[in-house]
Structure 1
Amino acid sequence: MPSGGDPLVALASLTGVPEAVEAMRKAVDRVYGHRVMRRRSNEVTSEAALRGARGSAALAGADWALEEVRRRTDFSGDPEARTVGAALRLTAEAGQLLSVWRQSPLRVLARLHLVASGNATEEVTVGRPRLVGEAVDEPFIQAPLPSADEVAGRLDGLARLIISGSSAPALVIASVVHGELLALRPFSSHNGLVARAAERIVLIGSGLDPKAICPAEVGHAEQGQAAYSAAFEGYLSGTPQGMSDWFAHCGRAVELGARESTAVCEALQRGAA
């Protein structure tokens, strides 16, 4: 990326990215224009949060049916249950951190990891980036693991980018935040869940999806783990085509999230939900 100015603007002009942004914007506008949104938007938001958490957990290895997620009250048992519980907590917490994100993104990331870990403050690795020699439990991300020093430097750069602001489309900003956190895996665990929660914060806080009714996590899960991994490999490559593919994948994820909430609106309209 260029060293001066707004580096994300250059990414927004890559081949195929303007089209991905436009397609995503139209999908979001359609669901916001649904007549149910005028009277029952809170119900749509709640349902989108549940479905988004289910999708994020699925990509972390806990692919539960939606009704099982809805039915459960105890998520403290086996590893899959704890993953689903972490995803639910993160989805609930994301909306509380919007005002802090633009001023202190690293503080928000630390909070997200603490929430994902169940506030396990007795574990010294919780809520802070990993140090030299500390292991990372993230089996679904197979990319080479950056050193702790590289993590610290790139996290600082990402934070400065967020704080300084960008005129790039929300899709580009959210996708870069998501991709960087997956690439760095800055925490000892739950990095995928945290990365997707941070993407959610950007999409909501940017004004693209202020009511949080277009859960990208749903779309990431619907496209499947293999497609998610392949698109992420494009981000890691740093090539124009690879980056464009990642943005297109993330844009499609938002479109699918919007489609999911449109179906929820239709069900509410019919009295079926």
Structure 2
Amino acid sequence: MTDSSAAHLQTQLTDRMRGSRWSRIEVVESIGSTNADLVARASGDPAAVAGHVLIALEQTAGRGRHTRAWESPAGAQLAMSVAVGVPRPTAALGWLSLLAGIAVSAAIEEVCEPLRQTPGQVNLKWPNDVLIDDRKVAGILAEFVAAGAGDGQAAGSGTAVIGLGINTAMTEEQFPVPTATSLSVAAGQSVDHADLAVAVLTSLDDLLTLWPDRLPDIATRYRAQSGTLGSQVKLILPGDKEIVGVAEEIDAAGRIVVNTGSEKVVAAAGDVTHLR
């Protein structure tokens, strides 16, 4: 891809998202990490970065949970980060990655006709993965940057940066693990990045109107899209403690509740594997 393709996509998205909360859309040819870039900007000027969208056609040092890193081949993934202003202290920050998962799954179904025809084929794995037929097609990372004392913002406020990567045109040979997939493989069609980005940003814009004051509405939508609820899972907690049981609930705080048969374990963080 060339610089002109980045410029063309930026112009398209700016025009199509006019009037939304996304006040500035920037598309770059290549970057280390869209999240790292926006986090750094938010640390310098939190108020200025809210509403900013950063998209990279190629990401060379993408960031995941637990400092995991990956690369996205040029043109094979939609790598995007958005900055959301957090005007006051809230205990609902953990819902942002779950909310983003709902937006991504809805966007995928909107632009991929074959997947839209089979309800439940696209679903969510707690806490931050989007799956197609139990293979990962997208990952999400939300980070919070607290406002500094001299930023003129309320204590406890700041900026949330939500990053996502959707595998669009990766081939089987390019998948980092056998449990990955892409839209081209799973849906059997090519996806226009502009259409997909617009669908994601529109859905995010809509869902963020519910956050943080209408969490039950978000929770209802999340539970309906969850592939984890009701499944036998292995949950690896921080410190590498393993729990095996049935995922019974996503509670009001966005935590997973796993019933092992002898106890119910509630976790705000961890890695889930669906067991078959």
> Which protein has the bigger strand share?
2
| Same fold? TM cut 0.5 | no
Select the structure with the greater relative contact order (CA < 8 A; seq sep ≥ 6): 1
Normalized against structure 1, the TM-score is what?
Answer: 0.31
> Which protein has the bigger helix share?
1
